[in-house]
Amino acid sequence: MMRKRIAERLTRKRNAAVSVTPASGNLVPIQSGHQIFCKAGVLLGIGPRLYYKEELRLNACYLNGAVFLEIDKDFVQEYKRIYDYHPMNFNTYIGNQFAKDITYGVRTQYGKFLEYRSVVETKCPSVNVLSSGEIDAIGGNGELVEIKSQTDGLSPRFWREVLQALPPNILFWNHEEFGIEEIVNCTDSFDDECSWFKDDVLRFLDDFLVTIYDKLEKSPKTVFEVTKMDKESGLKIEKSEKAAWEFFPEAFVKHFNLAL
Averaged pLDDT, 11-20: 37
Q: Is the pLDDT of residue 139 over 50?
A: no
pTM, to two decimals: 0.59
pLDDT score at 197: 58
Angle between helix 40-51 and helix 195-216 axes, rounded to 10 deg: 110
Domain ranges of the chain: 33-255
Q: Is the pLDDT higher at 184 or at 107?
A: 184
**Lowest-pLDDT range, 22-26, 211-215, 219-223?**
22-26
pLDDT score at 230: 87
Q: Is the pLDDT higher at 167 or at 41?
A: 41
Q: Is the pLDDT higher at 19 or at 186?
A: 186
Confidence of residue 110 (pLDDT cuts 50, 70, 90): very low
Confidence of residue 8 (pLDDT cuts 50, 70, 90): low
Q: Is the pLDDT of residue 185 over 60?
A: no
Q: Which of 92-106, 134-148, 220-234 has the highest mean pLDDT?
A: 220-234
pLDDT score at 201: 73
Q: Is the pLDDT of residue 219 over 90?
A: yes
Averaged pLDDT, 117-130: 65
Three-state secondary structure of the chain: CHHHHHHHHHHHHHHHHCCCCCCCCCCCCCCCCCEEEEEHHHHHHHHHHHHCCCCEEEEEEEECCEEEEEECHHHHHHHHHHCCCCCCCHHHHHCCCHHHHHHCCCEECCEECCCCCCCEEEECCCCEEEEECCEEEECCCCCEEEECEECCEECHHHHHHCHHHCCCCCCCCCCCCCCHHHHHCCCCHHHHHCHHHHHHHHHHHHHHHHHHHHHHCCCCCCEEEEEECCCCCCCEEEECCCCHHHHCCHHHHHHCCCCC
pLDDT score at 130: 66
Averaged pLDDT, 151-165: 41
Give, in degrees to the nearest 5, the angle at Cα 103 between 97 and 104.
Answer: 85
Q: Is the pLDDT higher at 151 or at 257?
A: 257
Tens-digit pLDDT profile for residues 224-259: 999 988 888 788 999 999 998 888 766 566 656 677
Sign of CA dihedral 153, 68, 172, 169: negative
- Please compute Rg for the chain using Cα positions: 20
Tens-digit pLDDT profile for residues 66-79: 788 887 777 766 66
| Cα distance between residue 130 and residue 35, in whole Å | 7
pLDDT score at 203: 78
